[in-house]
Chain A
Amino acid sequence: MKKFALTLAASAAAIIGVASAAQAADKTKVCFVYVGSHTDGGYSQAHDLGRQQVQAEFGDKIETPYLENVPEGPDAERAIERLARSGCKLIFTTSFGFMDATVKVAAKFPKVKFEHGTGYKTGPNLATYNSRFYEGRYILGQIAAKTSKNHGAAYIASFPIPEVVMGINSFEQGARSVDPSFKLKVIWVNTWFDPGKEADAAKAMVDQGVDVLTQHTDTTAPMQVAEERGIHAFGQASDMIAAGPKAQLTAIVDTWGTYYSKRVHALLDGTWKSEQSWDGLKDGILKMAPYTNMPDDVKKMAEETEAKIKSGELHPFTGPINKQDGTPWLKAGEKADDGTLLGMNFYVEGVDDKLPAQ
């Protein structure tokens, strides 16, 4: 209900903006659709920083209108279609839930190029892109194993979807590479965005003796709790050092700008092709925030791991790896393929939680 009205207002404002700009010039229009507000301090803001980077880089050659607070559903289709009609040459739809809407609109507008963030459906004029967040989470796991005094950490998780499960597993793999007895507790909050509930989950974990927290939810509330209670935590999507100057060890930071810039170049050069892009640390789409509040040897280890992942020497999911119940999953030296990762619905050994039914 509230999202609906917000969108109505937001799209009305944006459409007026788009319409008046359309008459303005021969600038190429590159458009963006966000699920949240461009100042949400997390996911949508990370995309908007990417947009700003592209705008700054290409200057007068392009313009980059955006729609924010667009709910996933029928409204998304209307919003995307409006953009397509208003002369956008390339449209980035940045949330998983925009997938089907983007597919439909892309079919209607074959001359417009579309890129859908974190989905899997493509078309001749529809590409997908995603980031290998799990590479960063492996490093977080290693740091956690070195930092925690009681061989464990807590993971504040949103919903049991493959991307989240993959992150949990990668964190545990990293931790076990340093400390084979490491136990990861998972706490499900069933929301992406509720500062109060995320804080409560963090407090519950700290009260039970956990001294390292990580999260796959969108607000800085858990980091704030970590700071107050004097424990350590990792930032998510953005560098959250402002919320936890003493608490943050590092953060995985989404930096979509590099990818957006590459694709806008391709559009302007006429070399744009539909692809399925899934880049990671190597390509700069995923960055690690500065390694802080940790001893030098831990920092050195983290930097080395980061370098190894970038060079391709290390893949977080390299066997031998057992599933949670001890059954073998990957043989020694075997690497998990992308399809398995993208559909991951089981825990690896060492995760101290029962995966909720999906």
Chain B
Amino acid sequence: MSIFEAILLTVITASTPLVIAALGELVTERSGVLNLGVEGMMIMGAVAAFAGAQTSGSPYVGIICGIAAGALFSLLFAFLTLTLVANQVATGLALTLLGLGASGMLGEPYVSVPGIRLEEIVVPILSDIPVIGHVLFRQDLIFYLSIALVIGVSWFLFRSRAGLKLRAIGDSHTSAHALGIGVIRTRYLAVMFGGACAGLAGAQLSLVYTPQWAENMSAGRGWITLALVVFASWRPWRVFAGGYLFGAVTILQLHAQAFGLGIPSQFLSMLPYAATIVVLIIISHNRRTTMINTPASLGKAFVPER
């Protein structure tokens, strides 16, 4: 295996959880709900996936547990913000704090227990293509799912009727409501989809990235995905590209150090965030793109009776 392939493989592992969680958050935000609890949902997914895999002996059961945990945990957020109309920002932050604390408690029996790694699925024929075959077609299930999700979410949002309704709600919940679209119901589903994706991303952390359970092992990746959604200006394929850019910068800075290039590691660690700020400046500079992409109702509560 060449160094080039080796780098690509690590970039994929580092980028996959970012892409998955950011896609989930993108759908949530497209419906007009801002859920800052991605970090909390991700870590709950990680602990549930690890526990599920340990208990059953199968990493696939772990994946299902991770997705379920993320979705259920997001349901708490949905209930508070959609039904009880609690402040979305505060509730999202609370969700992260609760998730970090609760996962630490639930995960206590699993500290320093050897993990179960999700095995690779080798796609016949395609995996024999030089370089690309090895990198793209000898991957774990979660990587394939991440690609399917990008295509699926993109299709759903821009090609399906349900996606059109979801975007309509995100842009103007009152108009959508007047047209008879179920605002609250759709938002519940969007939030839970976001939670399920965050849970899947968490499962990737504890079953693929580093097959182990450690408290706080998400280490801020949930926050990166929030930046990523803005960076991508709410577009699925840009989330994909952005996720890989963030992942590649992380990996390349480590290789740059190992090669002895004299770039300060702190500077390279900062790059993805600096890039986000630059993109924010660019998109907010151009009012038209901002208007087109940002869901207009983002973060606003919807109360049908008033």
Chain A, range 185-221, C-beta contacts under 8 Å to B: 185-191, 193-197, 199-201, 203-205, 207-208, 210, 219-221
For A187, list chain B residues within 8 Å (CB). 254, 257-258, 265
Residue B56 lies at the interface, judged by CB distance under 8 Å to chain A: no
**Quick one: given A1-B97, A220-B112, A242-B112, are A191 and B219 in contact (CB under 8 Å)?**
yes
For A40, list chain B residues within 8 Å (CB). 111, 214-215
Is A190 a contact of B114 with CB atoms below 8 Å? no
Residue B108 lies at the interface, judged by CB distance under 8 Å to chain A: yes
Residue B250 lies at the interface, judged by CB distance under 8 Å to chain A: yes
* B109 to chain A: closest residue by CB: A39
For B205, list chain A residues within 8 Å (CB). 195-196
Alpha-carbon gap, A246 to B12, bound state (A):
27
Chain A, range 37-70, C-beta contacts under 8 Å to B: 37, 39-41
Is A2 a contact of B96 with CB atoms below 8 Å? yes
Residue A266 lies at the interface, judged by CB distance under 8 Å to chain B: no
Alpha-carbon gap, A188 to B262, bound state (A):
12
A185, A188, A201, A224: the one contacting B211 at CB < 8 Å is: A224
Is B214 a contact of A199 with CB atoms below 8 Å? no
Q: Which of A6, A200, A210 has the most CB of B within 10 A?
A: A200
B6, B93, B100, B219: the one contacting A6 at CB < 8 Å is: B100
Is A204 a contact of B10 with CB atoms below 8 Å? yes
Is B101 a contact of A39 with CB atoms below 8 Å? no
Is A208 a contact of B258 with CB atoms below 8 Å? yes
Residue B251 lies at the interface, judged by CB distance under 8 Å to chain A: yes
Interface size of A in residues (CB-CB distance below 8 Å): 43
* Chain B 194-233 near chain A by CB (<8 Å), digits 1 or 0: 0000000000010001111011110111000000000000
For B93, list chain A residues within 8 Å (CB). 1
Residue A356 lies at the interface, judged by CB distance under 8 Å to chain B: yes
Residue A75 lies at the interface, judged by CB distance under 8 Å to chain B: no
For A24, list chain B residues within 8 Å (CB). none
For B214, list chain A residues within 8 Å (CB). 40-41, 193, 195, 219-221
Residue B62 lies at the interface, judged by CB distance under 8 Å to chain A: no
Is B114 a contact of A197 with CB atoms below 8 Å? no
For B100, list chain A residues within 8 Å (CB). 2, 6
Interface size of B in residues (CB-CB distance below 8 Å): 43
Is B219 a contact of A195 with CB atoms below 8 Å? yes
For B14, list chain A residues within 8 Å (CB). 196, 200
Alpha-carbon gap, A287 to B163, bound state (A):
61
Residue B264 lies at the interface, judged by CB distance under 8 Å to chain A: yes
**Quick one: given A219-B214, A220-B212, are A207 and B97 in contact (CB under 8 Å)?**
no
Residue B121 lies at the interface, judged by CB distance under 8 Å to chain A: no
Residue B286 lies at the interface, judged by CB distance under 8 Å to chain A: no
* A356 to chain B: closest residue by CB: B264
Residue A9 lies at the interface, judged by CB distance under 8 Å to chain B: yes
Residue A294 lies at the interface, judged by CB distance under 8 Å to chain B: no
Residue A140 lies at the interface, judged by CB distance under 8 Å to chain B: no
Residue A243 lies at the interface, judged by CB distance under 8 Å to chain B: yes
Residue A357 lies at the interface, judged by CB distance under 8 Å to chain B: yes
Residue A19 lies at the interface, judged by CB distance under 8 Å to chain B: no
Is B101 a contact of A199 with CB atoms below 8 Å? no
Nearest CB of chain A from residue B261's CB, rounded to whole Å: 10
Nearest CB of chain B from residue A66's CB, rounded to whole Å: 15
B209, B215, B254, B262: the one contacting A201 at CB < 8 Å is: B254
* A68 to chain B: closest residue by CB: B104
Alpha-carbon gap, A214 to B114, bound state (A):
20
Is B215 a contact of A203 with CB atoms below 8 Å? no
For A188, list chain B residues within 8 Å (CB). 257, 265-266
Alpha-carbon gap, A185 to B261, bound state (A):
12
Residue A76 lies at the interface, judged by CB distance under 8 Å to chain B: no
Is B101 a contact of A9 with CB atoms below 8 Å? yes
**Quick one: given A200-B250, A208-B3, are A195 and B210 in contact (CB under 8 Å)?**
yes
Residue A352 lies at the interface, judged by CB distance under 8 Å to chain B: yes
Q: Which of A9, A36, A197, A205 has the most CB of B within 10 A?
A: A197
Is A37 a contact of B101 with CB atoms below 8 Å? no
For A356, list chain B residues within 8 Å (CB). 264-266
* A6 to chain B: closest residue by CB: B101
Residue B255 lies at the interface, judged by CB distance under 8 Å to chain A: yes
Q: Which of A37, A196, A205, A243 has the most CB of B within 10 A?
A: A196
Nearest CB of chain B from residue A220's CB, rounded to whole Å: 7
Chain B, range 230-252, C-beta contacts under 8 Å to A: 250-251
Nearest CB of chain A from residue B126's CB, rounded to whole Å: 24
Is B217 a contact of A196 with CB atoms below 8 Å? yes
Residue B260 lies at the interface, judged by CB distance under 8 Å to chain A: yes
Alpha-carbon gap, A354 to B111, bound state (A):
35
Residue A88 lies at the interface, judged by CB distance under 8 Å to chain B: no
Residue B269 lies at the interface, judged by CB distance under 8 Å to chain A: yes
Residue A5 lies at the interface, judged by CB distance under 8 Å to chain B: yes
Residue A18 lies at the interface, judged by CB distance under 8 Å to chain B: no
Nearest CB of chain B from residue A208's CB, rounded to whole Å: 5
Is A200 a contact of B10 with CB atoms below 8 Å? yes
**Quick one: given A9-B101, A197-B250, A356-B266, are A207 and B6 in contact (CB under 8 Å)?**
yes
* B258 to chain A: closest residue by CB: A208
Alpha-carbon gap, A195 to B213, bound state (A):
9
Alpha-carbon gap, A186 to B262, bound state (A):
12
A199, A204, A210, A354: the one contacting B209 at CB < 8 Å is: A199
**Quick one: given A185-B258, A190-B265, A352-B260, are A37 and B215 in contact (CB under 8 Å)?**
yes
Residue A83 lies at the interface, judged by CB distance under 8 Å to chain B: no
A-B contacts besides A199-B209, A200-B250, 20 pairs, CB < 8 Å: A1-B97, A2-B216, A36-B215, A37-B104, A39-B111, A40-B111, A189-B265, A195-B217, A196-B217, A196-B219, A200-B254, A204-B251, A204-B255, A204-B257, A205-B258, A208-B258, A224-B212, A243-B112, A243-B114, A354-B262
Q: Would you list 19 pairs from A and B whose C-beta atoms are within 8 A, ordered by A residue?
A: A1-B96, A2-B97, A2-B100, A6-B97, A6-B100, A187-B254, A189-B265, A190-B266, A195-B210, A196-B221, A199-B210, A200-B250, A204-B257, A205-B258, A207-B3, A224-B115, A242-B114, A354-B262, A357-B264
Closest 4 CB pairs of A and B: A207-B6, A194-B219, A204-B254, A195-B210
